[in-house]
Amino acid sequence: MSEETAGEGNGILSEICLQCGGRCCWNANPPLTEQRMERMSTEGMPAGALEFAGYRRLKARDDGFCVLFSEGRCLLHAVKPEICVAIPFTFDVKGNMLEIFLRKGSICPMVPHLLGDGEAYQAQYDLAVRNLLAFMRDVPEDELREILTIEEPETIKVGEVPLEGVLRPRTPAPVPGH
Ligand code: SF4
């Protein structure tokens, strides 16, 4: 299965991300599903990169950056968490709807570019939705509840996607170190 990453096939988006200096990798602690954790582990995720805070997530270093952030890049860009691939889109869940939000241009320089290029916007939106739905399919319900308490104030709602058939009853996944 090929991996999908932000800016895939679009050098301008990759360039914008490089010049930004990784603001979305600061204070990020992206949540990880069991499936993504295993995928990243086989690609060299360092031991001790994970922690549990009501859900499995990547740790941040003392300087606030994600443990996988190095020299302006994600060390595991090709297999990074679905939540990271979706940026600058993020999500909430209301009832049986996945709500899609877009970060404001003041906190992500990719946003003004996307808003000025309808084709690039649609491509990144579709990529985000595919990855967020994959995340929703795999994340344990109790961890999702905790994740949904995280505030994302600098965003505006830009879409909705039905979750019919995506969420299903699941048994809690084992937690690393527990
Ligand atoms: S996993 Fe990679 S893209 Fe996601 S926050 Fe960490 S360094 Fe950034």
The amino acid that residue 160 corresponds to is E
Question: Which pair of structure tokens corresponds to residue 146?
Answer: 């905790």
List the residue whose alpha carbon is closest to atom 4 of ligand 1.
84
Best residue among 80, 83, 89 to mutate for probing ligand 1, ranked by most atoms within 8 Å of CB? 80
Which tens digits make up the pLDDT trace of 104-132? Answer: 998 899 999 999 999 999 999 999 999 99
Residues with CB under 6 A from ligand 1: 25, 28, 30, 58, 66, 68-69, 74, 80-81, 84
Best residue among 29, 58, 89 to mutate for probing ligand 1, ranked by most atoms within 8 Å of CB? 58
List the residue whose alpha carbon is closest to atom 1 of ligand 1.
80
Of 124, 57, 117, give the one whose Cα is nearest residue 88.
124
Which tens digits make up the pLDDT trace of 58-95? Answer: 999 999 999 999 988 899 999 999 999 999 999 999 99
CA 19 to ligand 1 centroid distance, Å? 15
CA 72 to ligand 1 centroid distance, Å? 10
C-alpha to C-alpha distance for 96 and 161, rounded to whole angstroms: 9
pLDDT at residue 1, as a whole number: 38
Question: Which pair of structure tokens corresponds to residue 110?
Answer: 């990719």
Residue 6, pLDDT above cutoff 60: no
pTM score, whole prediction: 0.88
Q: What is the DSSP string of the chain?
A: -----TTTT-HHHHHHHHHHTSGGGBS---B--HHHHHHHHHTTPPTT-EEESSSEEE-B-TTSBBTTEETTEETTGGG--HHHHHTTEEEEEETTEEEEEEE-TTT-THHHHHHT-HHHHHHHHHHHHHHHHHHHHHS-HHHHHHHTTS---SEEEEEEEE-TTT----PPPPPTT-
